[in-house]
Each structure stands twice: as C-alpha cells, then as structure tokens.
C-alpha cells in the first residue's frame, strides 16, 4: 500500500501532471473564447436579420424608424419581441 501511495504521489508531482493541467486549462480557455466568438457572430446575424425585417416592414434605411429599430435590437429580449 505504501509503494502504491508513493508511486501515486510521485506521479502527481511529475512534470507530466503539470503539463496535463496546463493543457486542460488552455483547452478550457479556448472553448470559452470560441463560445464568446460564436455568441458575437450570432448577435451580428440576429441584428442584421432584424434590420432586414424592419426594411420589409416599410422602414427606409435613412429613416428615424430604422435607426430606432437598430437601437431596439441591442437588447436580446427586444429582438425576440420584435
């Protein structure tokens, strides 16, 4: 049992373990960054879609209504309602 625990402790203290932890942390950060990027892209697409809907509803791109629609789309809940 002592040999097993000693071996486990030595393994835990090895450079491989710290490398594994570093790799895991890097992968986790990359996943967070990718999720953030995807969210930003989805937001851009959503706003573009809402702007297109505003134009389809009759708001000209130079009108006050169109401008206000772009302000309204900044809030996620408002986009859903629109």
Here the tokens at position 59 are 């708001």
Spatial contact of 59 and 74, defined as CB atoms under 8 Å apart: no
User: pLDDT tens for residues 26-58?
Assistant: 999 999 999 998 888 887 888 888 888 888 988
User: What residue ranges do the domains of the chain occupy?
Assistant: 2-81
Question: How far does Cα 27 stand from its chain's mean position?
Answer: 15
Decide: residue 53, CB within 10 A, 0-12 exposed, 13-18 middle, 19+ buried.
middle
For residues 28 and 34, give the distance between their C-alpha atoms in angstroms, rounded to a whole number.
10
pLDDT band at 12 (very low <50, low <70, confident <90, very high): low
């Amino acid at each position: 049992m002592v040999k097993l625990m000693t071996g486990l402790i030595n393994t835990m203290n090895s450079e491989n373990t710290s490398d594994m932890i570093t790799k895991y942390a890097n992968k986790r950060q990359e996943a967070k960054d990718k999720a953030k990027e995807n969210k930003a892209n989805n937001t851009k697409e959503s706003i573009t879609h809402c702007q297109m809907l505003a134009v389809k509803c009759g708001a000209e791109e130079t009108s006050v209504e169109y401008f206000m629609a772009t302000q309204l789309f900044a809030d996620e809940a408002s986009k859903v309602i629109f």
